[in-house]
Amino acid sequence: MQVSAVRTTGIYCRADCSAQPLPHNVTQYSNPVAAEANGFRPCLRCHPERCAGSLADLDVPAPVGAALRRINDGFLDDHDEETLAAHVGYSGRQLRRLFEHHVGATPTTIARSRRAHFARCLIDDTDLTFAEIARAAGFGGPRQLHRVITSVFCFTPTELRSKRQHGERPHLDGGLVLTVPYLAPFDFETFISHQAARAIPGIEAASVHADGSSGYMRSFSACGHPGIAELAMPHDAAPIAAAPSGATSLAAGPNGTAAVPVDAGGERNQLQLRLHLPTYDSIIDAVSRCRAMLGTDEDPSPAEAALADDPLIGPLVRQAPGLRVPRSWDRFETAVRIVVNQQISLAAASTMCGRLAQRFGTPFDAPSQCCVDVQVPLTHLFPGAASLADAGPSGFVGLGFTQRRIDTIVGLSQAVASGDLDLSAADTLDDTVDRLCELPGIGPWTAHLIAMRVFGADDAFPASDLGLRRAAEGLAGHPVSAGELEALAESWRPYRSWAAQHLWHAAAVSSPRPPDARSH
């Protein structure tokens, strides 16, 4: 998102800000963090730092994209720039040079901005102490919080807090209620329907009700503690809603956890996120995972514009505005879920993954105050790669897996646990697919789905998917082979993942029967 920085005031604004500086005093920057790196602070009127996806649409080389993804995952909270550079194949100096050229700021500056803007929202919208806010945003303590906030916003935390109205302090026992803004339009109900068909028993649950309400909840680990995340659309959101009473706005800055702009009436496009955790520490990472899974910072308009005139896909795109490609909360969990789904139905794959969670996951007692109305309780954390790798093939006896599937799961787990397979890499689609296909039991269908859901590829396309073929057959009026579908999809590049999601959605809407086997 481009912003306008006014040299005479030291402030940067959104394009639609009501302020009208003289043109010769204005410098354009490609994103908010670049403006901050050059000494400008965000406008208090239009809040440009709260715009969603401000770094998501930058045209950057793959290594820079990989580094941005790691920064958004909190990598620089525990590592330095040299380690980050090594992970993407560069020296620290070369990576900094690329970042300054393509992004306008160094990796460290971007990571600092990520934490600062998240903390700013908690300062503005909650009564948490500064010590609690510092831990939640990943700072070392209140003194570091004070130093960074003052540097970025030119106001101390105390001064920023004095500028807003006091709200009711959240309580952990009933869940910390936050709002997650998104780039509109956003089809939350379709996302919930997608997740409901693929939910892993004991790990996640989703529900869509006749009255139009819907919700999703899942277990996760934060700083070694089990927790529950609940997602729902606020009841008064249609489609833009005011923040619920007592809610905390997580407009967390220009790094992929950012919010959409707040208008003069304080309204915004938003979902409601409730976190049940025994500690606030590093909740910034949980929110980043939530936004990544939902794709709230992904702008659907480029894909929709590219596909709108296609005779096959175009009508589907126009019928489902705001459809997103669901990604993943936990990359390893999603990769395993896709592997288990090979050659079996979605329901069977969910059952099998639930068995993995029961045997290898960490059990915990879910809070009784959860608000999402679901029938299946959450009981476990999904096992990590090291747990499944250490279990070995013998550990899967009695779970109902074929030997071939066991070998694939163990091989994937060992590759991830050892670091041979980096699920945060930003290689080209071809390189990602080739690397995945080197693992035992993983072919093009599995590799393309993992590329789509885990690596965030926009152009992945599992042409052999039975659900895609049947959807295409329904539109074309004749049988479509995998090869024919793949040839047909060439015109949908570079947004074949989005085209696939529209095909799956159209098939789900038009057919009352359960999803087909190998339809993901």
Taking each helix axis as running N to C, give the angle between helix 346-360 and helix 331-340, from 0 to 180 degrees, rounded to the nearest 10: 130
Which pair of structure tokens corresponds to residue 295?
């794709």
What is the rounded distance in angstroms from the CA atom of residue 365 to the CA atom of residue 378? 8
What is the rounded distance in angstroms from the CA atom of residue 315 to the CA atom of residue 192? 22
Inter-CA distances, 254 with 76, 97, 280, 328, 426, Å: 16, 20, 22, 21, 20
DSSP 367: P
What is the rounded distance in angstroms from the CA atom of residue 161 to the CA atom of residue 314? 48
- 260-274 burial by CB neighbour count: b if 16+ within 10 A, else e? bbbeeeeebbbbbbb
Which among 285, 297, 459, 465 is annotated as catalytic?
465
**Is 390 labeled as catalytic in the residue annotation?**
no
What is the rounded distance in angstroms from the CA atom of residue 451 to the CA atom of residue 208? 28
Please check whether residue 300 is in contact with residue 498, taking contact to mean a CB–CB distance below 8 angstroms. Answer: yes
Which pair of structure tokens corresponds to residue 97?
């040079």
Which among 13, 43, 121, 290 is annotated as catalytic?
13
Phi, psi of 335 (to 5 degrees): -60, -45
How many other β-carbons are positioned within 10 Å of the β-carbon of residue 484? 16
**Is 51 labeled as catalytic in the residue annotation?**
no
Helix (H, G, I), strand (E, B) or coil at 225: strand
- Whether omega before 244 lies within 30 degrees of 0, making that bond cis, reads no
Q: What contacts 2, CB < 8 A, 6 or more positions away?
A: 15, 28, 29, 30, 31
- Whether omega before 363 lies within 30 degrees of 0, making that bond cis, reads no
DSSP 461: -
Q: In 244-345, where does DSSP find H-type helix?
A: 283-294, 301-307, 314-319, 331-340
What is the rounded distance in angstroms from the CA atom of residue 275 to the CA atom of residue 510? 35
How many other β-carbons are positioned within 10 Å of the β-carbon of residue 329? 24
The catalytic site residues sit at: 13, 465
